Each structure stands twice: as structure tokens, then as C-alpha cells.
């Protein structure tokens, strides 16, 4: 499974990148795309059709988070599942986001939306509309640990006899660009092995922070 960035180039050029990735990885590989709200709804629909023709399984943040009617228009026009929510706050924001018909996959960021307990409430709202929740994770090793704990505790949605990653089982984003606050901050960094990352088993979030790294990046 791989997620790629779109939205920095014209749709035609991103379309060529999408086709190249699909050709390189083959038809069986699960692909997702993230636009980081780079489009208007009409441009997002054009890009979404490109992603659909390449068999993508998720189109993240096609339009700005505040453009809920745009989200709904994009979702209604496309078959590829729409995801978003990393810039949304608390159960109240997600209530309106979900009820607005914006997304198929709800993506609360634990460090933004109000914490682990608030994610649980947001998951309850999402399941009431038979929507999937995949917590958004970006940033530090501490955030990644929190995301791993939450993801590992979420039930299959919808409930099924078999877990199918992305289809009913949450997955976690494991960014591969260098980030010292993720890769160096923890005494024991996370390791990706065969597509899986172990959930820490220590007390609390299960990670130990390297205070020398904190001092190195301290700004005040």
C-alpha cells in the first residue's frame, strides 16, 4: 500500500505521474492519493477521474476543509472513496463534516481534534453513518505512537468476519521522508517491517523521549 502526493502540478502532469506509479507497482498494489486541499471541486473531480481510472482506493483532502459543499459535490461525482478531516476539530466539527456528506473515510488527527477520547467519540459518529475512520498521523514519534495505539484498538468498521486493510481495518500512515522529530526523537525508533509497525508495549504511550534531541531542536 502506498500513498502519493498530487496537487502540486497541473492535472495532466499529475495524471502522468499517477499512471507511472501504477505501471511501476502493478495492478494488485493498493494506491491512495492526497491533494492536501489543492483543488476547487471541479478540478478535484477531474483529478478524481484520473485516480479512478488508475484504480486508486482513496482520494484525500481534494478541496479545502472549510468547503463542505465542495467536498459533498466531489464525493457525489466520484466512485473513489473521499477522505479528509485532519484539519477538523472536536466531535462538533466532525458532526458537521460527517453530516455534510463530505467523506467516506474520516481522518481525525489525535493531536489536533482533541485527543484520544475525542477520537473515540468521532469514531462513534462515523460508525453511525457506516463510515470508516482512519486516524491521521503526521509529525513526531509521540504522535505516531498515539496513532498506533488508537488504530490497534479500533474495531473493524463495518464489522466483518475478516479484516481487510483499508476496506474495514484502519491503516496508519508511515511517512518515509526524513523527519528528525520522528526518526531521532525516540530512544527506540519505530521500524517498518513487511508493511507493519509494532505498537509499543511500555507504560503510557510506550515510548521514551530522547531529551538530547529535544534540547537540540528547542526554540524557546
- Between residues 60 and 67, which has the closer beta carbon with respect to Mg ion? 60
The most distant pair of C-alpha atoms in the chain lies apart, rounded to whole Å, by: 51
Q: What cell was used for 130?
A: 457506516
- Between residues 60 and 88, which has the closer beta carbon with respect to Mg ion? 60
Q: What is the Cα–Cα distance from 213 to 180, expressed in whole angstroms?
A: 8
Stretch that binds Mg ion, among 29-37, 75-83, 98-106, 186-194 (CB under 5 A): 29-37
- CB distance 97 to 126 below 8 Å: no
Shortest gap between Cβ of 87 and Mg ion (angstroms)?
9
Q: What cell was used for 14?
A: 499529475
Q: From the list 34, 67, 88, 104, which residue makes contact with Mg ion (rule: CB under 5 A)? A: 34
Cell 496508519 belongs to which residue?
A: 172
Binding to Mg ion in span 119-148, by CB under 5 A: none
Is 136 annotated in the active site?
yes
Whose CA is closest to 83, among 64, 105, 57? 105
Q: Is 109 in the site for Mg ion (CB under 5 A)?
A: no
- Between residues 14 and 60, which has the closer beta carbon with respect to Mg ion? 60
Q: Is 173 in the site for Mg ion (CB under 5 A)?
A: no
Shortest gap between Cβ of 215 and Mg ion (angstroms)?
30
Shortest gap between Cβ of 44 and Mg ion (angstroms)?
14
Shortest gap between Cβ of 62 and Mg ion (angstroms)?
11
Q: What is the Cα–Cα distance from 144 to 120, expressed in whole angstroms?
A: 17
Stretch that binds Mg ion, among 7-15, 55-63, 98-106, 174-182 (CB under 5 A): 55-63
In three state form, how does the secondary structure of 48-66 look? HHHHHHCCCCEEECCCCCC
Q: What is the Cα–Cα distance from 180 to 37, expressed in whole angstroms?
A: 26
Q: Is 14 in the site for Mg ion (CB under 5 A)?
A: no
Q: What is the Cα–Cα distance from 103 to 135, expressed in whole angstroms?
A: 14
Count of residues of this chain found to bind Mg ion when the rule CB under 5 A is applied: 2
- CB distance 106 to 86 below 8 Å: no
Q: Annotated catalytic sites, by residue?
A: 136
Interacting residues with Mg ion (CB under 5 A): 34, 60
Amino acid at each position: 500500500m502506498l500513498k502519493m502526493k498530487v496537487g502540486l502540478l497541473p492535472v495532466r502532469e499529475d495524471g502522468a505521474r499517477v499512471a507511472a506509479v501504477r505501471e511501476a507497482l502493478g495492478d494488485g498494489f493498493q494506491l491512495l492519493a492526497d491533494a492536501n486541499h489543492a483543488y476547487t471541486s471541479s478540478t478535484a473531480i477531474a483529478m478524481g477521474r484520473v485516480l479512478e481510472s488508475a484504480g486508486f482506493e482513496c482520494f484525500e483532502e481534494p478541496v479545502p476543509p472549510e468547503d463542505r459543499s465542495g467536498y459533498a459535490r466531489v464525493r457525489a461525482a466520484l466512485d473513489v472513496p473521499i477522505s479528509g478531516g485532519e484539519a477538523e476539530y472536536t466531535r462538533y466539527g466532525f458532526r458537521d463534516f460527517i453530516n455534510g456528506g463530505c467523506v467516506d473515510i474520516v481522518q481525525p488527527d489525535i493531536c489536533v481534534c482533541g485527543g484520544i477520547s475525542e477520537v473515540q467519540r468521532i469514531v462513534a459518529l462515523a460508525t453511525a453513518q457506516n463510515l470508516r475512520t482512519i486516524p491521521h498521523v503526521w509529525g513526531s514519534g509521540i504522535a505516531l505512537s498515539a496513532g498506533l495505539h488508537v488504530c490497534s484498538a479500533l474495531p473493524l468498521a463495518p464489522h466483518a468476519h475478516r479484516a481487510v486493510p483499508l476496506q474495514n481495518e484502519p491503516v496508519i500512515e508511515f511517512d518515509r521522508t526524513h523527519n528528525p522529530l520522528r526518526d531521532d526523537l525516540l530512544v527506540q525508533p519505530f521500524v517498518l517491517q513487511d508493511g507493519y509497525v509494532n505498537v509499543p508495549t511500555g507504560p503510557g504511550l510506550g515510548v521514551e523521549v530522547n531529551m538530547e534531541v529535544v534540547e537540540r531542536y528547542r526554540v524557546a
